[in-house]
Amino acid sequence: MAWGGPGVPYARWVTSVTVRVPAKVNLQLGVGPLRDDGYHDLVNVFCAVSLFDEVTAAPADDLAVTVQAAPDAQVAIGGVPVDGDNLAVRAARLVADRLGVRPLVSLAIRKAIPVAGGMAGGSADAAAALVACARLWDDPAAPKLDLDALLALGAELGSDVPFALLGGVAVGLGRGERLTPVPAGGTFHWVFATADGGLSTPAVYAECDRLRAAQGEETPWPAESPELMAALAAGDARALGAALTNDLQPAAIMLRPSLRRTVDTGRDLGALGALVSGSGPTCAFLAADEQHAADLAAALAAADVAASVVRAHGPVPGATIL
Ligand SMILES: C[C@](O)(CO)[C@H](O)COP(=O)(O)OP(=O)(O)OC[C@H]1O[C@@H](n2ccc(N)nc2=O)[C@H](O)[C@@H]1O
Ligand SMILES: Nc1ncnc2c1ncn2[C@@H]1O[C@H](COP(=O)(O)OP(=O)(O)OP(=O)(O)O)[C@@H](O)[C@H]1O
């Protein structure tokens, strides 16, 4: 089908586009000192895991968004904005702006990623909307928005958004947006314990700064963990479990003390690694294999330390058109 020419959106020929996008877990979250711009320099080793949101974009007379929980997903969607604050809506506006078209699109979001849970659900939806709207409005014969352009737009929306486009495993430097993909030598099996109510990412970073200031020590510059990289390359779950770190964990636990019991319970039940995911409050537990993950998930659910318990594996690809 021919492109419609300047000002005529490609959407004229496309009825809808659905993009599937994964959650992330941070294998290493090394947090450097507070920068002048309010962000922290990071060594952020991301892994995309098989908990997926879906965003369907369809041409419309206006810009609109709907949000629902995915079937079988126990996601509380109450905290997700259904106006211009939704990150997917902001992404659609950004794409339209760059392509010089009007953002006439309806976005239907189906969420399986916990909201404000430290698994980058909002960022994932933003990445999905970038891909979907570019597919609707860009010229397929001569796209203006290639992957590099989408990564740059993603970084304008949030530090975690570029990774949701890439998926797999990647090291994020700067705010976490400067990505280098890292090959992984196998698939890792995870159990995630969600919590009732989210944690605010800025509040967790601020608490991290406060705790560090109270200790009175200078914040060391974070460095990539060689043990973690070797474990990833080898696909060695046991070594990976021992190498997982999250500099935000003490702050997340300070703000939500019950997380300590959740992390400890998972470790006591035999997880190879146990930590708060990103800014929390979701906790992540690494299992040896799929069967171990099933056993661990059942034991964690029985221990009653989480709102819900879900299993996922990774790495998986980033935002993908279905
Ligand atoms: C905790 C992580 O999820 C780990 O991947 C990310 O660092 C957070 O990424 P995000 O949610 O995309 O965060 P952004 O929307 O970019 O920033 C929200 C707020 O988090 C804090 N923030 C974020 C990233 C960063 N490198 N340093 C920060 O201090 C800042 O207060 C910022 O205003
Ligand atoms: N599409 C969206 N899905 C979820 N939250 C959204 C969305 N758009 C905007 N938000 C807002 O962003 C806040 C953080 O949500 P999100 O699920 O991205 O948190 P998170 O997983 O902790 O993020 P991160 O791991 O990137 O710090 C929510 O409380 C909500 O107000």
Average pLDDT, the chain: 95
Position 5 pLDDT exceeds 60: no
What's the mean pLDDT in 81-102?
98
- The pLDDT of residue 23 is 98
Q: Which of 201, 212, 282 to mutate to test the pocket of ligand 1 (most atoms within 8 A of CB)?
A: 201
- The pLDDT of residue 13 is 63
Q: What pTM does this model have?
A: 0.96
What's the mean pLDDT in 199-203?
97
Asked whether 119 lines ligand 1 (CB < 6 A), one says no
Q: Which of 80, 204, 256 to mutate to test the pocket of ligand 2 (most atoms within 8 A of CB)?
A: 80
DSSP state letter for 317: B
- Range of weakest confidence among 6-10, 142-146, 217-221, 292-296: 6-10
- The pLDDT of residue 138 is 95
Q: List CB contacts of 1: < 8 A, sequence separation 6 or more.
A: 13
Position 309 pLDDT exceeds 80: yes
Q: Return the closest-CA partner of residue 131 out of 115, 113, 153, 112.
A: 153
> 111, 160, 196, 304: which one is catalytic?
160
Q: Does domain 188-311 have CATH number 3.10.105.10?
A: no
What's the mean pLDDT in 180-187?
97
Positive or negative: CA dihedral 56, 60, 62, 68: negative
Q: Return the closest-CA partner of residue 69 out of 208, 194, 183, 176.
A: 194
What separation in Å is there between the alpha carbon of 275 and the centre of ligand 2?
Answer: 20
- The pLDDT of residue 220 is 87
Position 30 pLDDT exceeds 70: yes
What separation in Å is there between the alpha carbon of 259 and the centre of ligand 2?
Answer: 19
> 24, 41, 111, 138: which one is catalytic?
24
CATH 3.30.230.10 domain range(s) in the chain: 11-182
How sure is the predictor about 65, in pLDDT bands with cuts at 50, 70 and 90? very high
Determine the 3-state secondary structure of 105 from DSSP.
strand
* pLDDT tens per residue, range 203-239: 999 999 999 999 998 888 999 999 999 999 999 999 9
- The pLDDT of residue 10 is 55
Residue 24 known to be catalytic:
yes
Query: Is 1 annotated as a binding-site member?
Result: no
Q: What is the CATH number of domain 11-182?
A: 3.30.230.10
The ligand whose atoms approach the alpha carbon of 280 most closely is 2
- Range of weakest confidence among 2-16, 138-152, 258-272, 280-294: 2-16
What separation in Å is there between the alpha carbon of 258 and the centre of ligand 2?
Answer: 21
Tracing tokens 């200031």 back to the chain, one arrives at: 213
Asked whether 277 lines ligand 1 (CB < 6 A), one says no
- The pLDDT of residue 282 is 98
How sure is the predictor about 12, in pLDDT bands with cuts at 50, 70 and 90? low
Asked whether 120 lines ligand 1 (CB < 6 A), one says yes
CATH 3.30.70.890 domain range(s) in the chain: 188-311
Interatomic CA distance for residues 164 and 22, integer angstroms:
7
What's the mean pLDDT in 62-74?
95
- The pLDDT of residue 183 is 94
Interatomic CA distance for residues 89 and 87, integer angstroms:
5
Asked whether 159 lines ligand 1 (CB < 6 A), one says yes
* pLDDT tens per residue, range 237-257: 999 999 999 999 999 999 999
The ligand whose atoms approach the alpha carbon of 122 most closely is 2
What number is the ipTM of this complex? 0.98
Position 4 pLDDT exceeds 60: no
Asked whether 38 lines ligand 1 (CB < 6 A), one says yes
How sure is the predictor about 85, in pLDDT bands with cuts at 50, 70 and 90? very high
